Structure 1
């Protein structure tokens, strides 16, 4: 075992270029690159804080995944995570970054993982998604204040939408919970699966009619449904806003459009549509299968 900070090894070990044997893969780099992240394991190893081993050829030996290490080394060189769009070993790369304790790289990997479609994360083929959509209309009577003692009786129709969704792939249900948000006077709130297995989701929302004032809408404890978007979430959560957001789900069609956009992107294909297969956006029941 060799201590790189020992007097005997300083003249030999700390000179560029430095050769590494990582799991049988040989890399050549510089001391500056290896110590770019000082609080990492590599930073500690090559500043003499941790002892290191050499192989028979004199290369510093590290018993980790040699092929994945190229991404670790490239990140230290450029401070940028440059991997293919459909890179399939993010989990392994995260494990290696965690072992070497390169925290900026770990953060970049987590951001990258959040953008990778679930279908690229090994979702199960044959997974089934079943959706039932229902809409009921109710006539609402309310008083509109015109003055201190002057109230006018108003009437409007309110639509109650309900979606019952079941998916054998619970990670997809989790994705939908992140994709949609309830819009309430207190701000945005994500829906949650409604069973312990986390593969069933029920959504209930009431779009606000133009003729129904916002304070009356809130008084009835109605909640809208919107597409989550971090860039506009603050604007959506403003309880005093009287403007409808373009991200709001105002009817069954807009919900179905969004659901199909997400599910088709994750590899689902439409299997059956009820009652009219030619009118999928206005269907009552829909079944999709992951191919």
Structure 2
């Protein structure tokens, strides 16, 4: 059970108590204990806004403040806030994930330290293992959907509507990259946005059906179809209140998906290796291989 609380609300005694040290955090299942001074070290960050009462927080059933982010990587963020120093082990291979988390929390000094770290370490240690590989296979198929359209109590019309179903199978030897994709792409269902989950440690499968304009929403939902969106994080600061939200946009064809996938993978240091069937038509490929190098 998770409860949302507004730290500024005077009507909830637990809100006032929650502002006392020490603060216990549950970040993605990992428990951390720290102080308000540490959490508000960067006042213009999301954590600074959360723990100065500008953004409501959640609590789990044990009373810990809950943050739905990567719990293991958060230790490096918390240590940076404590010491103003980025201390990573020599074998650290999730720099891209750490950078994404620091960007989510909008901790600008940490982002600057990560950039300096990337410039100082050997290429093979930057943001994941050198030689990491992504293999992408894409498919699309047109299905004809038949349904009854009601015009009145006893007036029904048999209608047909073609829908295009898309399937993407992604294999990646760098598991942290799949986590980034699950954060970037989300399904749109009748219940709202939901994140995809890898099929295994190294494999992610995405399936979606964009809704045609001529297909009624209730018929689309009846088939349990789901759309796919790409989410970009937007940060606004109005009246000294920081607001962070995702701005999802629909993926309506395979070309749009491949374009977004390339943006993410190239930003993480991957390079296109093999394109099938036509190397000159990368957005119309049926399979794609990228290598980190």
Query: TM-score interval w.r.t. the shorter chain?
Result: 0.5 to 0.7
Tell me whether 1:166 sits opposite 2:174 in the alignment.
no
Instruction: Give CA-to-partner distance per residue, 1:50-77, whole Å, 9 cap, x none.
Output: xxxxxxxxxxxxxxxxxxxxxx99x97x
* Mapping for residues 118-267 of structure 1, pairs under 5 Å: 120=118, 122-195=127-200, 198-229=201-232, 247-267=249-269
Cα distance in structure 1, aligned partners of 2:267 and 2:44: 27
Contact 2:102–2:111 (CA under 8 A) maintained in structure 1: no
Checking the alignment, whether the CA contact within 8 Å between 1:128 and 1:168 is kept in structure 2 is yes
| Cα separation, 2, equivalents of 1:170 and 1:286 | 18
Structure 1: state its 5+ residue gaps.
1-37, 41-71, 82-89, 101-106, 237-244
- Cα distance, 1:264 vs. partner? 0.6
> Once the 2 structures are TM-superposed, how far is the Cα of residue 203 of structure 1 from its aligned partner?
0.2
Closer, same or farther: CA 283–142 of 1 in aligned 2, 3 Å = same
SS in 2 for 1:177: helix
- The secondary structure found in structure 2 opposite 1:228 is strand
Which whole-Å CA distance do the structure 1 matches of 2:259 and 2:103 have between them? 30
How many residue pairs get aligned? The number is 195
CA deviation string 1:206-249 (max 9, x = no partner) = 0111110111100111000001245599998xxxxxxxx7x101
Q: What's 1:276 paired with?
A: 278
DSSP 3-state at the match of 2:213: coil
Q: Which has the larger radius of gyration?
A: 1
Query: Following the alignment from structure 1 to structure 2, what is the Cα–Cα distance between the partners of residues 187 and 137?
Result: 25
CA RMSD of aligned residues (A): 3.8
- The runs of 5 or more residues in structure 2 that have no matched partner are 1-19, 23-36, 46-73, 85-100, 119-125, 236-243
Match of residue 290, structure 1, among 269, 289, 292: 292
- After superposition, residues 60-99 of structure 1 pair within 5 angstroms as 94-95=78-79, 97-98=81-82
Aligned residue in 1 for 2:241: none
Q: CA deviation at 1:199?
A: 1.6
Closer, same or farther in 2 for the Cα pair 1:92/1:149, shift >3 Å?
A: closer
Deviation at 1:96, TM superposition (A): 5.4
Whether the 8 Å contact between 1:94 and 1:109 is mirrored in structure 2 is no
* Alpha-carbon distance in structure 2 between the residues aligned to 1:217 and 1:284: 27
**Rounded Cα–Cα distance in structure 2 between residues aligned with 1:159 and 1:264:** 28
Distance, in Å, in 2 between the alignment partners of 1:79 and 1:270 is 40
Task: Write the distance in 2 (CA, Å) between the matches of 1:179 and 1:185.
Answer: 20
Q: Is the strand fraction higher in 1 or 2?
A: 2
Q: Could you tell me how far 1:91 is from its partner in structure 2?
A: 7.1
- State the Cα distance separating 1:95 from its structure 2 match: 2.2
* Distance of 1:222 and 1:39 partners within structure 2: 47
